[in-house]
Structure 1
Amino acid sequence: MFFFLLYDFFLFGSLLQTSENFNLNNEVQEFFFQLLIELSSTTVLSSNCSTKNLQIALIDLIFVLLKKQKNQYIADNNEIENIESKLPEQIQDLYTTIKIIIAWRDPTKQTLLPEAFFQQSNDILGNNFKTNQDDFNKSNNHFNTNADQDLINLMTNDQSLNDSFSKFIQNLPKETQSNTTFYKNYLSLSNIPSDSIQIRSHFFYILNKFIEKSLPIVDLSLPLGQSFLTDQIRIIKPYLLSSTKFQLLAESLEKTEVEYSGDWNIVNFDIVKANSNSDNNENTMFYQAYQQLHTNAHITFRRSNEQLWHAQYIGMHSTDHGGPYRDSITRICSDICSSRLSLFILCPNGRTNSGLNRDCWIPNVFPPNKSISNKYKKQYRFVGQLFGMAIRKKHYLNIKFPILLWKKLLNESITVEDIEAIDLQSFTIINETEKNIEQIKSIDTDNNIDSLFSSIMDELQFDVVSSSGETYELISNGSNIPITIDNFKYYCSCYRQYRLNEFNRQIDFIQQGLYTIIPSYYLSLLTAKELEQAVCGKDQIDIEFLKRNTLYEGGYNQNSSPIERFWTVLSEMFNDDQKKLLLIFVWGRSTLPIRDEDFSSKFIINTYDVYQGEVDQVLPRSHTCFFTIDLPAYSTTDIMYERLNYAITCCSSIDGDGTVNDARIDEGFDSDGSDDEE
């Protein structure tokens, strides 16, 4: 019974949106309206799953119905407001939220914000931040999509917003003219008057408050197109503050966490075998981890333990207090994005050294008419489980995948532009041919299109060269079917469908693994870029961000000369690769957390007392288990650079103390370098 009612409600809602002539008679409308009031009389959403789903469907249907009545002038604003006023407050807030989104997305900028927006804005922020419709219209004159996104990024990255909106506004420039210095990292804001930026910030802040209140009564698990209200929330997700989304995600992670276990998983790694030049991918660190972890990963990776396994390097003397564990994750990632495994391949742009994203890896390609073997299915799922582990434990993965993979994990559509971003030539042939055909049609006077077309497409059949370089048939026996003027459109359709769906199965398996570790519900609020950052951390090493999360010990402070030289080397002399190597040297990982609160421990810079020899001849020493570096007080910035660069390049092996010491003696250096066995 409930199933059929749900189906009818969603069907009615869809028909109301798509058909101008479809409407419900007054008796049916009144019945649905009274049913919603009755179902919501005690609580907005029932704890009973079936009743809750029915309520959500009704809430959606009533909104679409009222919206259509207003658009077709069947009911005036007063009548609609009178109907809405009888609904529970939380449903009214949801309807207000959707009206705000509709007004904001109106390309004509003619739709007014609902009055409830300004009323609740005053309730939340008080009279000090009063705004009106004219203020909103003024900001519309200065903001486009890029500027809106830059402002959201500014609000997300500004720590003062965590304290209060008032403090955030106080930190913004007050003058009416633009301020290029303050907005140097948000270029599209640099030419916008500061008062308009303040108004727009106010709008986004209140919008986020409305959405926070509304999320409990929308169903984010519904597929695209089934719920008008849910689709509107999804559309607006790039403009939700990351703090809002990650807080909701954190709450869902806490609810699905597995209790702490004192029984450690010992994972044995044969480094010698992993470093061999053998073509056997079962020697890799990834496969060794997969063999020992994948069976129970859906439980192990959800445990509350800070460290999920102990890495035991066979034949070596490392004791794992965190350093070898993080090092093993780094080595696993190195295998994932490499030719040592058959799961991923370098993208076509990388292989041809052309276009964008040349360093990105894509899922390997399998014949479209054959199933993928269970061996690869399980390994793809394990990759997804590693993604989930990274999100839960903030052990970020140093992997490089294109945006299309992250979009597909969130069930977003992959576009032609996404494919061209990893394969510049992917659609060149059919695009050029379509243009040529149009030109032929426009100039041909002898109706001899067939022969001209045949001369262009003489060597093409119904097949496609995949992203791996293999050729596959697009239809049965396609390699023997020539392309003609009559079937060319069908060929183009098949070609585009193949390229847009080429990686679907592989990414679906990764998604299955991810969802065994991370609940999908609030994950769907993330953008593709946010999901990538949640798994991989920040792509760039933000030195100011690291400095903000650094402690000084042993007599050092932030004004000590060696400390100032250290930060000068990192910010002005090290390139991106050197910064990552330094992070590996001191922490066993190559990426920073996304937010300050995600640091499980602060970076510690400690003094290094030298009792024999000259301090400038000593190398720094790291303790990766404790995110610590013992830093000698080098006399100049250039010497600081040389010693740090040598240490991060030559002394980062977990078990390399003896070998590294010998190398340092040969080079004339005297210190212990990396001390990663702690």
Structure 2
Amino acid sequence: EHIKASGTIREGNSIDEIGLMGTHSKWHMESSVEFERLLASGKILGLSSLESDSKLAHAAGAIADFSPIGDAVDCPFINIATALAFVAKINANDGSELDQLNSGRPDANQAAAAILSSVGDALPTTKALLARIAMLRAFNRRARVALPWLSLRPAQEGSAILGGLCGYGASIERAGRSKDSYASTTQWIQAPSVASRIRQCRSLFFTSVKRSLLFSVVDVTTTPTPLSHDEYELPREVRTVRVNRLKAYRAMASGDDTMCKKYSVFSQLQSEMRSWSGAPLRRGFVAKGHGGQKRAFKVKLIGEGVNDYSGPYREAFTDAIREVTETNEAGHGVLNVLEPTPNTLAAVGENRGLFSFSVGDQQLEIANNSLLRKDADSLVSEEEQLIRRSFSSFLVKTDESWREAEEALMFLGRLTGTACRHGIHIDLPLPLKSVWNAVVEEKTDEADTLKEIDLLAFRQMEVHGNLQDWSTSPLLVTQQRMLNSFVEGMANVIPVELMTILNGTELRGIICGNVEVDVDLLRRVVEYEGYDETDDVIRFFWEALMEMTNQERKLFLQFVWARNRLPLKESDFDAPFKIQKDSKNSGEMADKALPSASTCFFSLTLPQYSCKDLLKRKLSYVINNVCTMESDYITNDAEVSEGWRGL
């Protein structure tokens, strides 16, 4: 019923529109009657229509990710059909349809299987699933045109009559990023609107359609930048930011928290941009010869002989985000911006390796004392208690340390928004439920939210029976308070209002890219200059890269591209990865030379090594020891002295 009116099929037509006519007779549809019958039987048993169609939309999007187009609307339909038939064979539903299917991408088949194989015997026939996905594609084809004209903000939000932004007129998820499930289910009334229905059915839209909407609005909100007289030069409106990475490296290695907070790359960027409004960060200027990289400012690396043709620009984001996730000997964040979650510190739970917003013990104590005490419950009405629980993050008393932390998180949000606007994926391991889901206002169970961050605290509340009143957890309250600052910083640069059409996983993918450095994905976008794919040294290189840990692959990626995260799919790459032959060091000199890279143009210059072990040692050496960019020009004495000046 969600998509019934989105498209029709004329009598006498079939799936010719989507590319299957005459290819596989078993999937041929002769009439609209048969199509409607298959459409009705295409719902997965045991699931609602919305849940079933959402799973199919997710599967279609995952299959399309492995196509060069990367769009489930325009992806060749035979790719989807082949993957679904593969899933059918696994589930032993109609595997006989695979007799004529010898094509297909194994990675796309595996992606579809990971989503649909859990359904088991409840999965309909392949032909019925194809009819359902065909209608989903028709629905999304129309949604791609219609969504820019529709409001994604419910009518009652911002309405003085229905409550206003600071009252119950705004959704609980938006006002304070709170999630009081009791109030939302018993006391909350959402006025019916197109926007609320779009949010409810957000999972029916393909990720590619939602990304297209988001980035189309990002493009039209870009701050205009006039062209320079010299097309190779940046206009004067593009400001220059000076960053001394050499001083930052020494400060971060000193172990002195005061020095780290003063001289880190993150702190230098925050100091340089403290007076900036959001408009300069919304620039998206692309200079000729800069590899197509959009930019808001120019980076001048003090003491390093490199011009900013996009490599130093990306490196500034990568270094700043890396610093906010560095920890000291006590396990706390060095810059007091992010810190490991209690699950990460205690090595418990399934969500290890995540970081939460930095909150000190003193701030937690302040939050705990600010919350509504049990002995005061009798002094206020039940309605007032609901309001206090819903907006408890606003009731926390703050001091100077709170203000500094909120300012740092607001700047982190601005950096995150700028990186997202310019296609730079950053390594920001924040919790899914308490951060990314909250930003897109996706409903999340409070118990699961606490469990993701602090499993021991969840078990303690479970023992005392306090799980229904999540606001008694100072950790969650302070995290929500800090999240407001982070989102406010993002809102300076990108349209966060549109993110409600996404889910938390999709938003995390847009901002952070791929958690794992996918060697197969990198191999699909490579170009060779001076080498062939069959050369021994190329085989040595890919084998060495496959044998590396994910952390080592991140170092390699930063060495060749000045970023440590890959995009999620092939179509998201702006430029191919180039492997060039080192013509200066050939013959016997090749084994003595080191690999080099041009981060601005995503290229690796690789000598023709004689064996894999030698290549692996040389590559490991450069990715672990090269920390400066020295290839464009020879630095003068004054700049060297400024860059290497002692603290």
Name the TM-score, length of structure 2 as normaliser.
0.68
Asked whether the equivalents of residues 616 and 639 of structure 1 are also in contact (C-alpha less than 8 Å), the reply is yes
Q: Tell me the equivalent position of 1:265.
A: 239
Counterpart of 2:564 in 1: which secondary structure? coil
Cα deviations by residue, 1:218-265 (Å, 9 ceiling, x for unpaired)? 421224523343222212223321211111112111110112361242
Find the counterpart in structure 2 of residue 315 from structure 1: 303
Q: Secondary structure at the match of 2:274?
A: helix
Distance in 2, matches of 1:398 and 1:493, equals 33
Cα deviation for residue 175 of structure 1 reads: 7.8
Code of the residue aligned with 1:100 in structure 2: it is H
Please list, as runs of the form range in 1=range in 2, the aligned pairs for 1:329-344 lying within 5 A after superposition: 329-338=317-326, 339-344=333-338
Does structure 2 conserve the Cα–Cα contact (< 8 Å) formed by 1:245 and 1:522? Answer: no
- 1:204 maps to 136
* C-alpha distance 155-389 of structure 1, shift in aligned 2 (>3 A): same
How far, CA to CA, are the matches of 2:321 and 2:398 in structure 1?
26
Matches within 5 A, 1:285-300: 285-300=265-280
Among candidates 586, 591, 603, match of residue 565 of structure 2: 591
Quickly say closer, same or farther: Cα 1:134–1:426, change in 2 above 3 A: farther
* Match of residue 386, structure 1, among 392, 395, 415: 415
Q: Provide the C-alpha distance between the structure 2 equivalents of 1:516 and 1:246, rounded to a whole number of angstroms.
A: 19
The one-character-per-residue Cα deviations of 1:325-371 (angstroms, maximum 9, x if unpaired) are 22221110012223221222211111212112221111123433313
Q: Which residue of 1 aligns with 2:536?
A: 561
Are 2:621 and 1:646 equivalent residues in the alignment? yes
Q: CA deviation at 1:499?
A: 5.1
2:182 equivalent to 1:151: no
SS, match of residue 605 in structure 1: strand
Residue 273 of structure 2 aligns to a residue whose secondary structure is: helix
CA distance in 2, matches of 1:523, 1:150: 18
Partner of 2:24: none
Shift in Å, 1:291: 0.8
* Letter paired with 1:387: T
Aligned residues: 492
Amino acid at match of 2:17: L
Structure 2 gaps of 5+ residues are 22-27, 92-105, 158-170, 172-189, 227-234, 286-293, 327-332, 368-395, 634-647
Structure 1 residue identity aligned to 2:591:
D
Query: Which of 281, 297, 300 is matched with 1:301 structurally?
Result: 281
CA contact (8 A) 1:585 1:648 kept: yes
- Cα distance 1:637–1:206, how it changes in 2: closer, same or farther (>3 A)? same
Secondary structure in 2 aligned to 1:321? coil
Q: Distance in 1 between matches of 2:35 and 2:598?
A: 56
The 1:184–1:595 alpha-carbon spacing in structure 2 relative to 1, beyond 3 Å, is: closer
> 1:427 and 2:458 equivalent?
yes
Query: Does the 8 A contact of 1:350 with 1:358 survive in 2?
Result: yes
Aligned equivalents of 1:417 and 1:585: distance in 2?
38
Q: Is the 8 A contact 1:175 1:195 kept in 2?
A: no
CA contact (8 A) 2:38 2:131 kept: yes
Q: In angstroms, what is the RMSD of aligned CA positions? A: 3.3
The yes-or-no answer on 1:279 pairing with 2:190 is: no
User: 1:39-118 residue pairs with structure 2 within 5 A?
Assistant: 99-100=1-2, 113=4
Q: Which amino acid aligns with 1:189?
A: L
Q: Secondary structure at the match of 1:267?
A: strand
2:240 and 2:299 in contact (8 A); partners too = yes
How has the CA–CA distance of structure 1 residues 141 and 400 changed in structure 2, closer, same or farther, with 3 Å as cutoff?
A: closer
SS in 2 for 1:362: strand
Aligned to 1:348: 342
Give the alignment of 1:241-640 within 5 angstroms.
Answer: 241-260=206-225, 262-263=235-236, 264-274=238-248, 275-276=250-251, 277=254, 278-280=256-258, 281-305=261-285, 306-338=294-326, 339-365=333-359, 366=363, 367-368=366-367, 369-371=396-398, 373-403=402-432, 404-414=434-444, 415-434=446-465, 493=469, 495-496=471-472, 498=474, 500-553=476-529, 555-571=530-546, 573-609=547-583, 610-611=585-586, 613-640=588-615
d(CA) in 2 for partners of 1:173, 1:561: 37
AA matched with 2:134? H
Mapped contact 1:297–1:385 kept (Cα < 8 A): no
Per-residue deviation at 1:589? 0.8
The question of whether the paired residues in 2 share the 8 Å contact of 1:151 and 1:201 is answered with: no
Given that residues 139 and 197 in structure 1 are in contact (C-alpha distance below 8 angstroms), is that contact kept between their aligned partners in structure 2? Answer: yes
Q: Distance in 1 between matches of 2:297 and 2:549?
A: 33
The offset of 1:177, in angstroms, is 4.5
Q: Secondary structure at the match of 1:551?
A: strand
Higher relative contact order (CA 8 A, sep 6+): 2
Contact 1:345 1:362 in 2 (8 A): yes
Contact persistence 2:305–2:630 (CA under 8 A): yes
Q: 1:347 to 1:137 in 2, by over 3 A?
A: same
Hey, what's the Cα distance between the residues in 1 that align with 2:616 and 2:468? 56
Residue of structure 2 equivalent to 1:29? none
Q: CA 1:501/1:200 → structure 2, altered by over 3 Å: closer, same or farther?
A: farther
1:114 Cα offset (Å):
5.6
Please identify, of 221-230 and 331-340, the stretch whose mean Cα deviation from structure 2 is larger.
221-230
Amino acid at match of 1:541: V
Q: Secondary structure at the match of 1:341?
A: coil
Structure 1 residues 653, 433: closer, same or farther in 2, change over 3 A? same
Q: Secondary structure at the match of 1:556?
A: coil
The amino acid across from 1:394 in the alignment is: G
Match of 2:231 in 1: none
SS class of match (1:178): helix
Q: CA deviation at 1:611?
A: 4.2
CA contact (8 A) 2:57 2:133 kept: no
Partner of 1:138: 41
Looking at structure 2, the residues matched to 183 and 324 of structure 1 have their Cα atoms a distance apart, in angstroms, of: 39
Structure with max Cα Rg: 1
In the alignment, is the contact (CA less than 8 A) between 1:349 and 1:358 conserved in 2? yes
Give 1:229's match in structure 2, choosing from 190, 194, 212.
Answer: 194
**Residues 360-412 of structure 1, C-alpha deviations (whole Å, 9 max, x = no match):** 11112343331365433332221111111111101121221111211222233
Match of 1:189 among 116, 122, 145: 116
Question: Using the alignment, how far apart are the partners of 1:204 and 1:266 within structure 2?
Answer: 47
CA distance in 2: counterparts of 1:188 and 1:536, whole angstroms = 22
For 2:86 and 2:410, locate their aligned partners in 1 and report how far apart those are by CA, in whole Å: 53
- What amino acid does structure 2 have at the position aligned with 1:364? S
User: Contact 1:346 / 1:359 at 8 angstroms: preserved in 2?
Assistant: yes
AA at the equivalent of 1:166: F
CA distance in 2, matches of 1:497, 1:614: 63
The percent identity for this pair of structures is: 21
User: Of the candidates 178, 183, 186, which is equivalent to residue 89 of structure 2?
Assistant: 178
